[in-house]
Chain A
């Protein structure tokens, strides 16, 4: 594993030497013996799709669409299920949950009931029997967890998230005790009848909550001092052998200057929550987050960058990538999608970088590696 200085040197090389990066990319082509497959969602010329992208051969420079399913509205979160099927959930406020397979065949469409909306993410239980979806009560705006039978996708129960605008959820890894959920309440007030219009931001109330995954009982709730920071996307990393949760932030300050320089990362160690100061302007928006080798990467599409931190929050630098968005880590590689290119970072070594074109698609905020 590289130390911090080596990591910074590698990032600096990426930033300052496109030719080097290109050469490294060429070298890397020979190392693509194994097919890389990524489940993603995107906008193509004729509409929205979810599907599988692959980097199929050493000769190929671009991601290929290996499978695709048309979806009626923009998708957001993705989940690979134990049996190999995939789930995609509609972007908030969403109506549908789709199960499909890696060959692009629809297995099940599931439609949410009246006066509820999906909020963008889904999580599966370890035994594969239960799904948890973040949802909104369209009457009250209350955040909900939908507890669903994984076989039928039907709802078994609803639990409050003790906030509004719930977004991503994950299993709690901050203690050895299992069976707890961590849920990010984005806290941004919207008017359901107008879709996504934000209203009365002075009433923002973002938090992370810990819930008992058997009962929904609230076990803890944490907020940042700055109430205009929305906690949204989650990734577990590790610092000093201890799990630490990285949370990508979306700033909603009225003052453009404050918003632009706002933090894009917060850290939660299971007991306390804190924002991570930024030495550079990242335009106040972290779109996705992934962890790899004790480090966090936060995509910042409005700054066309990927911000890099170590797991304690120390700033490591940034990687330039136009409209950097979806992030995922798999084995020893971090994949990041941009407007025209996707990068595969093997650890942090520029020489092992993969740079692939994105074939006429606008990739959405998230993707997941399938191997």
Chain B
């Protein structure tokens, strides 16, 4: 039996009645019932699965939009290109929300490497275009630096697609590959959500969730916000190299990532047990309040953020850093998760 991550760890799966019993107990809100298994179950069911479904839906519209560019008559080419760009933005946004906290299948499948390798390599895109891939099997022979959202961004904005061009045909194949990966993730998350971890594997999954949440906020705080500004300042560059800069979608990326981090920490959609909810259910109301307050402060700093105001970007990064410290130093231990500064994970 192919048991999906994270429930593969102990190789045990509880089915049917047990699942329902524990899930029901979890949502009854008693402190004892909100164990790791129930918490992880809610994250998969009420966060990962809906986000993966959104990505499937968005990416399914991307390939036809690109195909339309390829087939557009000259007088409609620009309109088709704009439509393809809009679909790329929508798909990318869905992807950023899903991958902001990379857990389970997304890590197992190495999806980030498969469809979001950055920076893309234009010379490899050129080679790939010349090889004229026409199937999934053909695409497997092409290296990840020439594929995924970054390669499509380059083809849509830096060297905009022309109808009936080899580049356009390659872009369609890129979109098809993103759609296939989205479908695979969707299936994997659904399978994972339908199964329940035992205590040991649930603890591992909870550890992964919290650690990857910390990793996600660090990616937003450092890689996507502060580092581009610091590099620009220390090297005298006028323009900060924010993510998805070519498409002008940096602020969209930040907002999408932050929305995921915020939801999983403190502002969940219905049914999702956010970290704050788990803390409250386990009797740590004070810490839950502190987390909610820190999330609120970070949220205020992220609202309406654009790359043109470096001071605001750095201020937002500072708020995210404070939130990260709170989760590392207080929330993680309260949830029984080890992150450990003095080196729980070694170096």
Contact = CB atoms under 8 A, between A and B. Distances in A.
A325 B341 CA distance: 11
Contact of A365 (B107, B145, B231, B347): B347
Nearest to A339: B342
B230 A193 contact: no
B107 A43 contact: no
Given A95-B227, A232-B347, A365-B347, A193 B342 contact: no
Given A114-B119, A193-B112, A72 B231 contact: no
Q: What does DSSP make chain B's interface, helix, strand, loop or mixed?
A: helix
B230 to A, nearest CB: 6
B224 to A, nearest CB: 12
B284 interface: no
A76 B343 contact: no
A18 to B, nearest CB: 22
Nearest to B145: A139
Interface residues of B, number: 30
Nearest to B347: A365
Interface stretch (A80-88, A194-202, A272-280): A194-202
Given A194-B212, A232-B347, A362 B341 contact: yes
B346 A285 contact: yes
Contacts of B343: 285, 287, 301-302, 325, 365
B12 interface: no
Contacts of B321: 47
A92 interface: yes
Interface of A: 43, 47, 72-73, 76, 91-92, 95, 109, 111, 114-115, 120, 139, 167, 188, 191, 193-199, 230, 232, 250, 285, 287, 301-302, 323, 325, 339, 362, 365
Nearest first, the 8 A-B pairs at minimum CB distance are A193-B112, A109-B234, A323-B342, A250-B346, A195-B215, A301-B342, A362-B341, A114-B119
Given A194-B107, A197-B107, 20 more contacts: A47-B321, A73-B222, A92-B347, A109-B230, A191-B110, A194-B215, A196-B215, A196-B345, A197-B208, A197-B211, A199-B107, A232-B346, A250-B346, A287-B342, A287-B343, A302-B344, A323-B342, A362-B342, A365-B342, A365-B347
26 contacts: A72-B222, A72-B230, A73-B218, A76-B347, A91-B347, A111-B231, A111-B234, A120-B347, A139-B144, A139-B145, A167-B347, A191-B110, A191-B113, A193-B113, A194-B107, A194-B112, A194-B212, A195-B218, A197-B107, A232-B346, A232-B347, A285-B343, A287-B342, A301-B342, A302-B343, A365-B343
